[in-house]
Amino acid sequence: MIVPVHNPGKFIEACIDSLLGQSLARNQYEVIFVDDGSTDETPARLDDVASRESNVTVIHEPASGWPGRPRNIGIDRAVGAYVFFCDHDDWLGPEALERMVAYADTCGADILIGKTIGHRRGVPRDLFRANEPNATLWTKPLMTSLSPHKLFRRGFLDEHGLRFPEGKRRLEDHVLVVQAYFLATRIAVLSDYVCYHHIRRDDDLNAAYTPIDPQSYFGYVREVLDIIEAHTEPGPQRDHILERPFRQELLGRIARPRPVGTAPEGYDEAVFNEVRAVMLERFPPDFADRLPLIARVRAAIVRDDRYDLLAGLSARIGDLHGRVTMTSLHWAGSGWEARIEVEPEFSDGTPLRFIPRGDDRWSVDPRLLPADLQFAPDVGAVELLGIRPSVVVVERSSDEEWFAPSQLVAELHAIPDDPDSAHRVVVTGTAEFDPATLAGGRPLANGIWDVAVRFSCIGVDLRGRVGVDPATRPALPSAAVIGPRPVTVIPYLTEGQEKLSLDVGQRVHTLLAALLARPIGPVSVTREHFSAQVDVDIAPGASPRSLRLQLLGGDEVVGHCEAAIVAAGDTATLRGGTVPKPAGGAMRRLHGPGRYTLGAQSRAKDEPSLVGTVDVNRFGRIIEADFSPDRRESVVPLPEGFGEVTPVDRAVERARHVAGRAVRGARRPAPRQPK
């Protein structure tokens, strides 16, 4: 584990904690901090850690200005079979090293890319749809991941002399990673565990977010282009690899101008001019023809030297968003299935329009594109219908994200009464949410998980939370119970916006509240149990979900009754014992006989919620139960005569006492006889 360090301040603490908290034993991995001339308190902090941890080494070096030299020093000092590069303000999942090394060993990988989560910053997503033991540049989107945060076989780096360019410069990680991709015998992708947490700091002092020097930066871009061209022949394969620098390092740099006041006057235009110079120098005029419409438009603006059009285009694109509507949600055997509809639309609620031109070509809504482009941009039906949305669940506090299986198809729908016979693109289908397997084959962790859809339409990347149409608001399932150690999952719509979220582990919502929001019953009572059908979904293999019920009378808790929600065929049943346990001593009468209120607490600090009433006979057995809503309005008073101890009770208690003594005496061993 190699960590270049320079003045991280408080942000290094999460990194240190995660590296020392790995599931591997201390003697199975080493941590090398290379301090690149820090002037804050970090050097002393690292020395203190190294003095207490046998597998931590700290190397102090004069400031070199960028992470390349510290990483190279770490490679030369490392002795393990693999090296992993971690930035000083990021952190790893607890089992990251163990899982990555095991999978790399299994696959025989020179490079392993572990699933990365971004915190306030973009990271690759499509790359992590599934584990891949043998990824290539032409079969997987490896070029979307050019950061150094990967596991490399150390012998592979040494064999090819792979080291980072040194000095204060940009794209040093791209130079090494792109070369490594071409030289590696095998590249693996581990997607079923969150290995790396990549953050954007609150102070925005991550190196990636400081302004670039346009002239030197695009010199480094040319260096990466040289590497790609040195390892490929002209043709489709080279063009496929070149798409990344063309779209990201060139067009991406002009797609979102820096906010006013954050860069010197003329900065954005200087960046534009450098992008244009590289594009004219290294890419043929028709290179952008292979790309989505908006990329083609931006490339045309650059080639035509129309810097004046960029700001308007960015504003128009910013007015688009994704509308995602859920029309139903129901349990489908092992999880919920949602039917959803996805569509790009403007902020005023009107759809993005496409006007037929004949020959399966379509003009794009004039509200989106500048009016004075030097070419008439249009799209084919194949591009319009090629939308492939991704349905994801995202944990609200941790940003952990997982793909949900979905089957979604795009169609062109005519817009009624449109004067241009325009159509809109609508994507419809289903998505599946099995909370027991959604996190890479494991259950979702406790937390609030928001449901969203990401998709790209004509090159505009859009995202929308899954919501509902208030006019046709679908009914939601109440709750589900999953897992051998049962966990409750509750789907709900957020207040105000009415967006779909999943509460795993009763963080905000409770199973009891979900239970009582629906009809319970009918109730049946046998000699041993009472049972009532409840509107709860039970996942295959889930254990019964226990509830501790209270017997209430007046303002007293007079007994307890164990109960559980259990699977009963295709439904769920609330089942409880019929002999409540007394809350007081043995001589205090629990039953009147009479009627008592049955209550329950979601949490110890909560007031009891009323479930219904039960009738108890003189022997303490429940003989009738009613869980209808009107029985939850108030607690019934204690039965008349409750707590009185009659002569019969005393006689029964004495008989029990005598019987108990007899049983205990019978169990005593006989005294030893003298020899």
Within a domain: 428: yes
Query: Predicted confidence band at 586 (pLDDT cuts at 50, 70, 90)?
Result: very low
Predicted pLDDT at 588:
46
Predicted pLDDT at 587:
38
Q: Are residues 650 and 519 in the same domain?
A: yes
Q: Are residues 415 and 354 in the same domain?
A: yes
Predicted pLDDT at 206:
52
Predicted pLDDT at 616:
87
Within a domain: 615: yes
pLDDT reading at 331 higher than 50 = yes
pLDDT reading at 301 higher than 50 = yes
Q: Domain containing 622: what range?
A: 512-657
Looking at this protein, which amino acid is placed at residue 29? Y
User: Which stretch of 115-119, 283-287, 332-336, 581-585 has the lowest confidence by average pLDDT?
Assistant: 581-585
Within a domain: 158: no
| Nearest CA-CA partner of 611 in 620, 619, 622, 621 | 622
Rounded to the nearest 10 degrees, how much is the dihedral formed by the CA atoms of 600, 602, 606, 608?
-10
Q: Are residues 586 and 449 in the same domain?
A: no
Peptide bond into 474 cis (omega under 30): no
Q: What is the pLDDT of residues 247-268, one digit of tens each?
A: 999 999 999 776 666 778 899 9
Q: Are residues 333 and 474 in the same domain?
A: yes
Whole-number Å distance between alpha carbons of 16 and 1: 11
Within a domain: 204: no
Query: Predicted confidence band at 664 (pLDDT cuts at 50, 70, 90)?
Result: confident
Q: Are residues 527 and 652 in the same domain?
A: yes
Whole-number Å distance between alpha carbons of 590 and 383: 73
Q: Are residues 609 and 643 in the same domain?
A: yes
Output the 3-class SS for 401-457. Answer: EEEECEEEEEEEEECCCCCCCCEEEEEEEEEEECCCCCECCECCCCEEEEEEEEEEE
618 phi and psi, to 5 degrees?
-70, -15
pLDDT reading at 413 higher than 50 = yes
Q: Are residues 484 and 560 in the same domain?
A: no
User: Which stretch of 158-172, 435-449, 599-613 has the lowest confidence by average pLDDT?
Assistant: 599-613
Query: Predicted confidence band at 355 (pLDDT cuts at 50, 70, 90)?
Result: very high
Percent of the chain having pLDDT more than 70?
93
Which residue is listed with tokens 């929001």?
517
More confident residue, 372 or 473: 473
Within a domain: 163: no
Within a domain: 555: yes
Q: Are residues 324 and 402 in the same domain?
A: yes
pLDDT reading at 673 higher than 80 = no
Whole-number Å distance between alpha carbons of 10 and 240: 41
Within a domain: 48: no
Q: How many domains does the chain have?
A: 3
Within a domain: 193: no
> Considering 471, 487, 505, which residue would you say is the last residue of a domain?
505
| Tokens read off for 246 | 């063309």
Q: Are residues 639 and 547 in the same domain?
A: yes
Q: Are residues 529 and 476 in the same domain?
A: no
